[in-house]
Amino acid sequence: MNVLQLCHRAPFPANDGGNIAMVSLADALMSQGAVVKMLTLNTKKHELNLDTFPEKIKKRYMLESVSINTDISAMDAFINLFSSESYNVKRFYSAGFEKKLSEVLRSGAYDVVLLESLFMTPYIPVIKKNSPAKIILRAHNVEHIIWQRLAANERKILKKNYLALLARRMKKYELDVMNQVDAILPITGDDEKFFRGFGCRLPMLAVPAGIDIAAYPAQDSRQHELSLFHLGSMDWRPNLEGVQWFLDDCWERINSRFPSLKLFLAGRGFPKWLMERKDANVKYEGEITDAQQFMADKQIMVVPLKSGGGMRVKIIQGMALGKTIISTTIGAEGIQYTNGKNIMIADTPEEFLAQIGKSLSDKDFCFHTGEEARKLALENYSNDVIGKRVMDFIKTVQ
């Protein structure tokens, strides 16, 4: 089976949830014998220099890219107010990418074109014009739900109204486009229910992001002092919103109760104002080069998401390493967890304090939760398991 994978950003390095999800699906399909070619938008935010990129990886994924500027422009956003288009999606259209895509489709016989996220759907017409391939949407999220949640959590009235406008336009676009593909691969069962609830009758299979389990050996941090950590890209708005909420609403009471407890924050795109905060016992490490090394001496991962959608791959990575996860319900969406067994759920400052307190006071429980989390990752989120499911599904799509 020949698969053309279209990515809305260069998924290398595979160091955040979105990138890991794209690369892991390519690896999962290749593990089942598929030939995968990756064609990606090369955004300024996630810019990839193919001239210096490792040749081995370029060859493995037959990687090609087309540069595009998807940065938010105040002028373009203002002008867009007077149209009915979704500004979020429009930013990802490139005439240069469309031309390159046409050339790639005409030069190869593809069985499947895989659209990584809603932001690649503007290219559906050119795909249909140049290829008989099945078009499958990999829905990383139900995108408009993210914007609805952001709007609901926003306190400033003008910003709240603007986010609500973006959400309405995104919803209209999402509902219009979802029946233009041949099948959908939502990342979570909850997202599949959303699509079904909106009247979508396409073939659909909820497929979580997977990982190469062999690359995540269990980490034993028992010899280290228990600490908290959060690892996530701060250039993804829900992560930034969640961390700010945790610091503003939760951390003072946690730090007051456990004055020696440390919180480590790391990830790409930390804004200057966040790095310059002076919260007691909070270590702002910003972008790191090795996620596993960062997590090695830390046991308790906090995921305080208040908005967002899809599935947090960082949680799966943490589970595979045997970490103790304390997450909001939204943060844990899409993961087949059992609260109190392989994850701990907390949605309020009081609940975070209680769950953290339980982990600190009962270390056996804390580490056992991490062990159970690793078992869950091994059984449900390996690339081999996911690759077989996806290949079997694709063969049924007419």
DSSP state letters, 83-134 = SSS-HHHHTT--HHHHHHHHHHHHHS--SEEEEESGGGGGGHHHHHHH---E
For Cα atoms 388, 57, 118, give the angle at the middle one, nearest 5 degrees.
Answer: 60
Query: Residue 264: helix, strand or coil by DSSP?
Result: strand
How many residues belong to the chain?
Answer: 398
Residue 14: per-residue pLDDT: 81
Residue 369 has pLDDT above 90, yes or no: yes
What's at 43, amino acid-wise?
T
Query: Residue 146: helix, strand or coil by DSSP?
Result: helix
Q: Where are the domains positioned within the chain?
A: 2-210+382-394, 214-380
Most confident of 43-52, 185-194, 360-369: 360-369
Distance in angstroms (rounded) separating the CA atoms of residues 208 and 216: 17
* pLDDT band, very low/low/confident/very high, at 50 (cuts 50, 70, 90): confident
* pLDDT band, very low/low/confident/very high, at 187 (cuts 50, 70, 90): confident
Distance in angstroms (rounded) separating the CA atoms of residues 101 and 288: 34
* pLDDT band, very low/low/confident/very high, at 133 (cuts 50, 70, 90): very high
* pLDDT band, very low/low/confident/very high, at 356 (cuts 50, 70, 90): very high
Distance in angstroms (rounded) separating the CA atoms of residues 384 and 102: 32
Name the token pair of 187.
Answer: 């990342």
Distance in angstroms (rounded) separating the CA atoms of residues 97 and 66: 6
* pLDDT band, very low/low/confident/very high, at 189 (cuts 50, 70, 90): confident
pLDDT digits (tens, 9 = 90+) for 205-264: 999 888 888 888 999 889 999 999 999 999 888 999 999 999 999 999 999 999 999 999
Query: Comparing C-alpha atoms, which of 71, 63, 69, 68 is closest to residue 23?
Result: 63
Is the CB of residue 207 less than 8 Å from the CB of residue 186? yes
Query: Residue 286: helix, strand or coil by DSSP?
Result: strand
Name the token pair of 217.
Answer: 């050996």
Residue 170 has pLDDT above 80, yes or no: yes
Residue 306 has pLDDT above 80, yes or no: yes
SS3 content of the chain, % helix, strand, coil (to 5): 45, 15, 35
Is the CB of residue 181 less than 8 Å from the CB of residue 257? no
Percentage of the residues of the chain whose pLDDT score is greater than 90: 67
User: Bigger pLDDT: 145 or 325?
Assistant: 325
b/e per residue 169-202 (b: at least 16 CB within 10 A): bbbebbeebbeebbbbbbbbebbbebbeeeebeb
pLDDT digits (tens, 9 = 90+) for 191-202: 899 889 988 999
Name the token pair of 305.
Answer: 């998401």
Query: Residue 30: helix, strand or coil by DSSP?
Result: helix
Identify the CATH number of the domain defined by range 2-210+382-394. Answer: 3.40.50.2000
The arithmetic mean of pLDDT across residues 349-370, rounded, is 97
pTM: 0.74
Distances in Å between the Cα of 59 and the Cα atoms of 38, 62, 64, 286, 383 are 10, 5, 10, 31, 20
Distance in angstroms (rounded) separating the CA atoms of residues 204 and 207: 9
Identify the CATH number of the domain defined by range 214-380. Answer: 3.40.50.2000
End-to-end CA distance of the chain: 15
Q: Considering only 141-150, 255-264, 328-337, which range has the smallest mean pLDDT? A: 141-150
Residue 26: per-residue pLDDT: 95
What's at 115, amino acid-wise?
L
Residue 145: per-residue pLDDT: 84
Q: Considering only 25-29, 86-90, 153-157, 297-301, which range has the smallest mean pLDDT? A: 86-90
The arithmetic mean of pLDDT across residues 276-280, rounded, is 93
Residue 11: per-residue pLDDT: 93
Kindly report the average pLDDT of the chain as a whole number: 92
Q: Do domains 2-210+382-394 and 214-380 have the same CATH topology?
A: yes
Residue 267: per-residue pLDDT: 92
